[in-house]
Structure 1
């Protein structure tokens, strides 16, 4: 439990640094730590609370986040100028902390108002999607959405809107391998996503990523709520747009027949995400979201943690919670894949945090990862999945993805997430269609400055003394309201048309 004083936060008794709650001047006594600051300390940054020798570990959260590159005197600013990172041994402790989850009896579980689909899926929204197979059909996909009669859409109030899902790949790529498989899984996942009442899929005609191949591979059948065509067969751009508008018009009355009904919270699948992080992310918003994820799991639902490069260095906290050694090994295999992937591309896993993260007080990827992993709560890790692979397990799971937020969430939604919770300390303005995204501010300053974008102020954990568990309960209750149709801030601002970003891997041919 964090110990909060007027000026600093101590996260663990063994830590040799504390975090500044406000900008602190040099020469300021920190009475609770019996030390005086030697430097000016920015808001959210770290302060050494004892002398630290060169090469000695820097400890935060009771974990190693880096190593002193020079001797650091007590009271000094601890950041990128005097902290580095090198390999060190970590104990994976496979399944050592796995515990039986205390599920609530079904009669005590929460519910929401959602859309029950014919295939058994449950949606929290009722969109029609325009899904493009290739970059070459992206413009036509957008034109179809722009040309659709808005008055006709307004006459069908049970439809939330028409969403063009366009991307920059689908041709100039190998027709096999990891990159192709990623794209196929994403398109299949969106084509059958329960937040869509209907899908119109538009291709060019000569691309590598052929629509018919996708339909055959995944057993998708055309019908009133799933239609396809390509631009070349339609006779070019203008005729293709006209054809697309016509098909949407035919689909609309069928989609409008959907009605919300009472659904158990066990049908919620929540994407856990963070972006524009700061030093408070791992103290307020991420642990609070973890508490909400624990609640969702207890109610029988599913929570998906992702962003593999951003749990790098904290993966041992997850392997300890793996329900079986096989689950732990899947996560370790993904970590090794990423190490090789970064090496093959001339990079390194510690190329994070971003400049914005560093400005917010995060020094190394380990520090960021330890805070990011808190989004996953405390329940068992029940499964590990590849990018956009369908989630077939209830409970807390992990889906492999880049740390790039739109790309990561695209995979989570394709895997089945019908809701998103996104923590941010710097102020990300991400929004998502078809899965509504709740923004959780890590500090009260960003919540006040960006009140039209932020949904929940987790800064109240520090500023108002609200417990993490209580904040988690508030997040969970708001999730149920949004799942039932209440609009998030990003939905009110119209975000979501440009956040569809499938993960591209492999050579451009």
Structure 2
């Protein structure tokens, strides 16, 4: 089942509830519903108050019976449920059931649009295309974070007035880099992430700052990441420079030497195939799978038809909906890679005494989401209906065009960090509860699921998908407008988070393994 356009005509009327598929057992409250209120032509009278975004039973459901939303199972009734009753954590839980989909059965080759859309991009000497033009300062270890930020501070305010084409000097630091197994997966993953950022098209130049005695040694990082020093990629050791003040001065001098060349850029028309967009959702609610995620999915389908690439991620948040992706796999090997990563996650959570269903957060549940199955079915909608062309591991370079899946945690900053390391030069982030996420060096567009959130947090929200709920637009029309906003943003248009200056502290590499 495609999740990009699951809604029937009932979404666009003024009924108090929304039913997404004809065989659904529940409908979603469009607004707060009072006990005794009739559900319109869709069903019975509410027996309970139903908060906006939450589920109400359309008919009686027996204990142990499967409960469907999106035409898919979202859990099992843990007790008998009456028609008109609130359906949530008190009467709906996880259970075993079979997923019905065959590998590749829903795959369709992309029908490309000619001529393709364009945006005003920055073309690097080696042919890579950027949407922004930053100078980056990366720390090898938490111990070099203060020096990294100290260097960046020297370039705040009017310090870059002579370099109008440089978007900023940004220090991206983290809490790891030492007390790690030198041959372990955790250190290898950190190095892969840092190398991905060092090579990112949105950085005109990069300075990597180390302490000197950490596990993540500068020389080893360069070898592991296949990084070669030159005028626009420099390294700096704090201990070998003589300490904090001397290292900051040396770092400032290095950045000053990079600025003239970094400023020598201009935007020019480039094809949309140079866009790699990371897809994120955070602070999801009961509307995420109805408005913002399907709208983003419609925009993604347009992007793919214009030759671009979208990166769907957050592996724990496609758990239970993976059959919808494997059905769209271009090759059996692609589906097998996705299944293998899900098996890894099942083992990973088990080793850490957890379970996959602990993913929905308190905010998700307050917004109407009950199980990981329900959350995943809505989250998959961000990927539209395009064929799944590849599955890559965290922070690996994204080389396939079209829809790609990257294995990441569900935690938004960690997931987006992996996507950017893989080459994403724009992030699209849907939210129902409200997120203030920003991202550097790749701009982040935040898409509100409902109009109330869009109005309440207007300084943070870039796009209102709540108009779908309001009945004033369709998923496809909103998706077309969002695609246009993607192109505008890639051309240099500022996002709300960029106007606020947000996006430096959201660099969060995935930490694996023991801290010694």
Cα distance in 2 for partners of 1:466, 1:377 equals 18
Trace 1:439-454 onto structure 2 (pairs within 5 A). 439-454=446-461
Structure 1 ranges of 4+ moved more than 4 A: none
1:64 aligned residue (65, 73, 92): 73
Single out whichever of 61-70 and 458-467 deviates more from structure 2: 458-467
Offset, 1:218: 3.0
Cα distance in 1 for partners of 2:40, 2:159 equals 67
TM-score by length of structure 2 reads 0.97
- Matched with 1:330 is 337
Checking the alignment, whether the CA contact within 8 Å between 1:386 and 1:400 is kept in structure 2 is yes
Offset, 1:149: 6.2
Single out whichever of 5-14 and 339-348 deviates more from structure 2: 5-14
- Matched with 1:171 is 178
Cα distance in 2 for partners of 1:133, 1:440 equals 33
Cα distance in 1 for partners of 2:225, 2:139 equals 17
- Matched with 1:34 is 43
Single out whichever of 169-178 and 477-486 deviates more from structure 2: 169-178
Question: After superposition, what is the alpha-carbon deviation per residue over 1:296-329, rounded to whole angstroms, capped at 9, x for unaligned?
Answer: 1001010000000001100000000000100000
Cα distance in 2 for partners of 1:331, 1:177 equals 23
Trace 1:344-423 onto structure 2 (pairs within 5 A). 344-423=351-430
Cα distance in 2 for partners of 1:498, 1:149 equals 16
Offset, 1:100: 1.2
- Matched with 1:270 is 277
Question: After superposition, what is the alpha-carbon deviation per residue over 1:81-128, rounded to whole angstroms, capped at 9, x for unaligned?
Answer: 0001023222341111111110112xx111111111122211000000
Cα distance in 1 for partners of 2:155, 2:113 equals 46
Pair 1:226 & 2:233 matched: yes
RMSD: 1.0
Trace 1:110-509 onto structure 2 (pairs within 5 A). 110-148=117-155, 150-509=157-516
Pair 1:81 & 2:101 matched: no
Cα distance in 1 for partners of 2:264, 2:450 equals 42
Checking the alignment, whether the CA contact within 8 Å between 1:234 and 1:243 is kept in structure 2 is yes
| Ranges in structure 2 where 5+ consecutive residues have no aligned partner | 1-6
Checking the alignment, whether the CA contact within 8 Å between 2:138 and 2:148 is kept in structure 1 is yes
- Matched with 2:4 is none
| Ranges in structure 1 where 5+ consecutive residues have no aligned partner | none
SS in structure 2 of the partner of residue 47 of structure 1? strand
1:91 aligned residue (100, 104, 110): 100
Checking the alignment, whether the CA contact within 8 Å between 2:15 and 2:40 is kept in structure 1 is no
SS in structure 2 of the partner of residue 163 of structure 1? strand
Checking the alignment, whether the CA contact within 8 Å between 2:43 and 2:59 is kept in structure 1 is no
Checking the alignment, whether the CA contact within 8 Å between 2:446 and 2:460 is kept in structure 1 is yes
Offset, 1:71: 0.2
Offset, 1:447: 0.2
Cα distance in 1 for partners of 2:146, 2:49 equals 52
Question: After superposition, what is the alpha-carbon deviation per residue over 1:134-178, rounded to whole angstroms, capped at 9, x for unaligned?
Answer: 111011101111123643311100000011000000111112232
